[in-house]
Structure 1
Amino acid sequence: MRNYSFLAKMTLFGCLLCTLPVLFVGFFSYWQSSQVIQKQASRSQSQMLAQMNANVEQILLAIYHSLNQLSDSTVVQKMMSEPFDPSDYKLYNDLRKEISNTESSYTKVEDVVLIDFQHNWMVKNSGIYTFDRYLHYRQISNLIMLPNTFNWVLNPSIWFYSEETANSVPCAYTISLVKKLPAQSPDKNGLAFANIPTCSLTEMVKYSPGESESIMIIDDLNRILYHSNPSMIGKYASDSGFVTNPLDLKEPTGQYRMELKDETYTVTYRRSSFNNWLYVSAISIDSLTKEAKQIERFTIVISLAIVVVFALIARFGSRRMYSPIRNLVMQIGGIVPRQREGKGNEFDLISDKLQELFRSKSQLEKEAYTHIQQALTLFIMKMFQGSLRRKDLEEKLELFGFGDKVAGWKQMTVITLQIDTLDNTRYSKEDLELLQFAVNNIAEELIPADVRFPSLTIDQTTVVLIGSSDTEQQEFNAYVAAIAESIQRTVEQLLKLKLSIGISLPFSDPKNASVAYREGLEALRHRFHLGEGVIIPYAHLNEGKHRKQFSYPGLTETELLDAIVLTDEDKARGLLKFFMQQVLKEDLTPQEYQIPMFRLLNSLLVFVQQSGVTMGQLGAREGSFYEELNKLSFAAEIEEWFWAKLIRPLIGIFQDRNNSQYQNISEKMIEMISKHYDTDLTIEQCAAKLHYNANYLSGVFRKETGMTFSEYLSNYRLNMAKKWLAETDMTVKEIAERLQYMNSQNFIRSFRKQEGITPGQYRTNHQKIAT
């Protein structure tokens, strides 16, 4: 089977889409116009028959009254009551006057005939006759058998003409109004006729039938009195083909269709209430729709023109709409179906490629999820170990989606869980790692995810941070204790092991998680005298106060090293002074004070070595910096020694370097950001490539650009996100993934924080401006 391209299918569909409605509308218009014309014509025929009926009945009614007046006249009554002598000319003349009053051009009455069977005479226009000697007296005599006193009867005209004029009769039939005489007597022995030639009905009807139209008047005996074809007069209604049995037409008016000689006719009829005559009009449907034929031809021409125009539009429009599909197929390395073998159109090819991408994406997502979990575990471990600066801690919380959760917690605590012993159990030391994994899962199952951080194991200890939005400390402590008991009980039921749990004091600052972790560990050390399977709150130890520990001002040390790199003397001097104040505010012994001093010295010397500075550049000749520091006794002289011996000389060295190197280093770092912004780029990677210390590069970059490396990278990614939102159709999720966000929600939150609106709103606003 031949395989068509999507372009051909789209073009064909477009042609059908425009052709079918046009053809439907054209056909419907023609059909509707034909129906309207037929209805109007039928309505016109009904009105015409009503007018025809009124015209004819008006004359027939005049004839009826005239004949009735004649039959009731004294002359007629006298002639019917006494033998009539033809020699009585006076009576005959009086009768002729009465008869002449009945005949008129208006009523079309040509002859009035009086017959007396009892006295055997007949009077008509041509004279007085002995009735039984009249040629057609038998046929006429039979009319006395008519059922009613007055009867409208179709008779051959020859009955009422003498033999001399019989061949000159203008109409073959005569319509006779027959009245039985005498009117007032039950014994009828005479007849009165008012004869109208059927030819006169044409003037009464006052209508000229059109082409393919037949007009008929049918009496109550189913005889045709009038027909647009005169040869049909006198025949029965069934002979016309339009009326099979007039008695079936019981309604006063009506209309029906019928087939005659392979042609369809509309037959309209109207029955007279005066004499029960039937007025019929039959007209061909084709003649009615003759005007509609012109509409049909015009509709066909217009429809074909519209079809051609829309077919061309569909062709060119389909090609334009197909262009992106073709480009997409070419970009994914495919060829259009007419250029390649096998089944399937462009979308099949695209679908195959997308399935490959989805498979690759699924694999990448699995790998990324593994890396994310590893990164998350490392972050939480560093948080508990206290090796994160506050800013890094806040950034990581946002990065891993814990920012809003922690912001909503009013107090937190850390619980530490340890398996007491495997002695006298069914487990061996090789099972310890698996058992710790089981304890982790149990803890995460029993503690709702919205009130905890992911649990992890540090040195055979399961550690979990729990938070709450409740400000009541007693209720929070009770809640944590209940969780600890539930975990301990579940482990004992499922694993048949004793589990001890240490609970830290509550805290509100996530930076204090490391202190809480150590409190939990310290609480567990009291198992030595409390025994196995215990829950030990740190609140019961150390008088309920937080664990006392010396907090080395590491952040201040880092900022001091940055100030040295940036050659900022004022800031470096102030940080050194602040460092000394932080150390001195601790309640330590003289020996303990030496530890932070020597730690600072050690950090400075390591920094010197990493920066490529020699001891000779610092003025060191004989002796050791450690020995010099050890000889000093007062805080003021120690501070001055650090400034004069190390910090100020280093600032001078870096000032000399900066004049030639800073700008070049910053430009290289900016170039690396522009090339690798969509990777997991860090300042440590830049330092490794540029062969500099990371802290040194951080200080140089901040001095040259006015912002930290992470701030600059974040701003650069934000600008790229704005560009992609405005110029591409990339989804928010795709942009977030490309810019190394853990999930789209983190990206949306960061974007809104800096721009004040969401990425979707930014794209919508830009599209409105563009249009």
Structure 2
Amino acid sequence: MRSEIRYMQSFDTRLEDVVLINKRYNWMIKNSGLYTLDEYPYHKQLAELMEQAENSTWVLNPSEWFYTEENARSVTCDYQISLVKKLPTTGLDQYGMALANIPACSLQDLLNTDTQQPYTDIMILSESHQILMNADSSLIGKPVSETGLTGLDQLSGQHGQFTTEIGKKPYAVTYLRSQLNGWIYLSVTSIESMTKESYKIGTYTIYVCLLMLLISTLLAWLGSRRMYSPIQRLLSQIDSLLSLNNKRKANEFQLIGEQVHHLFQSKSRLENEVRQHIQQVRTLFLMKAYQGNMRQGEIIEKLQQFGYGTHMSEWHTMSVITLQIDSIDNSRYEKQDIELLLFAVHNMVEELIAPERRLAPVIMDQTVVTLIGSPDSDEHTFRNELYGLTEQLQREISSYLHLQVSIGMSLPIQTFTNMPIAYREGLEALKHRIKLGEGIIIQYENINSGKHYLNLNYPKHIEQELKDAIKVADKERSKELLKQMIQSVLDAPLSPQDYQIPLARLLNNLLIVMQESGVSLNQIHQGKGSLFEELLDLQTAADIEDWYWTQVVHPMIRIFRDRQDAQYHNISEKIIDLVQRYYDTDLTLEECASQLHYNANYLSSIFRKETNHSFSEYLTAYRFNMAKKWLAETDMPIKDISAKLRYNNSQNFIRSFRKLEGMTPGQYREKNAEK
């Protein structure tokens, strides 16, 4: 072992001695031989090294601890830097120790290089500011204050720099604290010596700059002579365009600059005029495309011409959104501001939706319309993205313009030729504000079983209102409109045979509405005969109105109401399920809307219609039912119950409980305990 220890000594690292100590078996091995530990003169000091907190650490020790009397003369340095490592390294009971000793004086020899500046002193300090390395070996092991260095309180950081005085001369001190062993490496530099060197550098810099300035001046002079010849030729070409006054009052560069600026202005004006005309033509094309006044092939051709080729090649799923301002009656705006507000909304749509995701928005009949597309073929993913986009749009408009808007979304389409159908579906969705109120975002699939609206055009306004009322299952409004419709048809000066045409047309359009909504004829008419034949057999206005109501309109209203009730009930059940699962969190209606992918106002209207309670009322009632259950069946403290039910403090919970139950939670628990 002694032989192997000697092999570990390295000339490069100046490692002089390796010591192995076994406290349990009372022996020590080092270069000079094997010793009984408790007979070694400095065994107490060496044993104290095992009391270090870390398993491995660097320690500065006197050299005499490691040398016996027979080789004490060979000691060249008073201190040794020891790497102390407890053994065994993996056990809990560490009864041994290994020390690798390096003479502290040898560290200075490693740093004595040719590049070291004579005015720079490098020191290494321990964590307790004890000198580990210094050019003066007599200072090793002593506090750094004995060197005359002041300002040691600034050594608290990991690294830094400060100035101090040594012997009334200024010095710059740069330090770095090692993260490995906590040593502090100091570089103490004389500012006076650095200043002398900087004067030399400054002198050399001035000479170099003067030389570069002289060379640059010469090159500039030669270059200007070569550059002026093309300028002179250019000036001669525009000479005929200049008046005598302009030639006198401006130099050559000013004259050329004015002419170039004039050309750019002319080019910019021309480009702006062309751009405005293109935008106007594009807007007219999009309006005609949405209204269905263009052939399918023409739509594709025009989209290519207006720069939408990339959209056509990349988009796989599209949808039309229609945006309308709900009301400005209770806002700061006047009715004459509606056109300006629509223009502002139009601009916000352009800014908030990236051009690669939309066609240019247009304003049609006080409605902002645009087509949004996505490369994603999954319709469910596209709907979620589109819903998030419209929610952001609604929030931004409300924040900046303080306006409440409603947004309708069509069913997803896969081809641009279906733009007219999608546009009608977006408008159709907006009509459900009659039932759901303002500030809604509604998808057409929520009102029409996911089937596309047929692109029909029937100009009778009263009939359109009747169809709208039937779709939203408004019984009273439908009955009133039916009466007005029959009356207006029969008031016309027609022959008895001619009355059959508008009456049959009304029946036909109502049946089309029924089919578009996915309702079969058997659901409203169980008989084997034809509805048209039954209609033509009627003779009086009262019979016709009653027949339309009992055989067509009222059955359709029942079907639409059942469909809405089923949908509303399903949505309400989902909200109730969220309440029952997350009642002990900070649950809000907005979080429910986000999880169910609906607008919060839309959910609020449906939930109140289905439960006759608002969301907050239902959540509060459910939490109180859980509180009463815990009070009656468990020993849970009232403070914990109030915390689980999201009350800020138990006093608020007690006051609310007393208000609803007429007693405090503690009284309620005692009352149930008596039972």
The TM-score, its normalising length taken from structure 1, stands at: 0.28
Give the number of the structure with larger relative contact order, counting CA–CA contacts within 8 Å between residues 6 or more apart: 1
The TM-score, its normalising length taken from structure 2, stands at: 0.32
Greater Cα radius of gyration, structure 1 or 2: 1
